[in-house]
Amino acid sequence: MSGCGFSIFNGNNVSANLAPIHGGGSITITIHATAPKTPGVYCNEAKADINPFPRLTYFEGDQVNLTKAQACVQVNALPAPVVTKTFKPSIVNVGQAVNIVFTITGQGPQSGLTFSDVLPNPPFTSATGE
């Protein structure tokens, strides 16, 4: 976290002690996080606790509503890998060797993928893989 002097992380809870903010000034706090692994819309509400509220200060408006903010982020699933399948050569004689080539192209960092295929009917014989 940057933008403040002292910060505390406890699981997903973040708190910080901020320096005084002068009239018209601001402090920007940036938290570096990693998006969840599950797609969806995630919303977060933050509130600034002004405690103790400065003496002899005039606060115009609803302090509760003016000291909170909400933001949402949409996490998208990675696109599915693209699979292509070709026969090489594409024309063969009866009993001639033929290669079936699969190309799997990832659209992003993915792991735990599996692959399966059912060869055409009538059955091919002596199928081996590389």
- Of 31, 56, 75, the residue at which a domain comes to its end is 75
- pLDDT, averaged across the chain: 78
Looking at the domain assignment, is residue 1 inside a domain?
no
pLDDT at position 3 over 60:
no
Instruction: Kindly state the tokens that stand for 76.
Output: 């998208």
**63 and 85: one domain?**
no
Q: How far is CA 36 from CA 9, 40, 74, 109, in A?
A: 18, 9, 10, 14
pTM above 0.75, yes or no: no
Do 95 and 70 share a structural domain?
Answer: no
pLDDT the model gives residue 71: 93
Tell whether 112 and 69 lie within a shared domain. no
Query: 84 with 64, same domain?
Result: no
> Is residue 23 one of the residues assigned to a domain?
yes
Q: Are residues 45 and 84 in the same domain?
A: no
Do 89 and 130 reside in the same domain of the chain?
A: yes
Number of structural domains the chain divides into = 2
Would you state the pLDDT for residue 112? Answer: 83
- 58-90 tens-digit pLDDT: 556 666 667 788 999 999 988 888 999 999 999
Burial group, residue 81, by CB count within 10 angstroms (0-12, 13-18, 19+): middle
* Alpha carbons 44 and 46: distance in angstroms, whole number: 7
Co-location of 50 and 21 in the same domain: yes
Between CA 72 and CA 35 the distance in angstroms is 12
To 10 degrees, the CA torsion angle through 59, 62, 68, 72? -140
pLDDT of residue 50: 63
Place of tokens 């909400």: 70
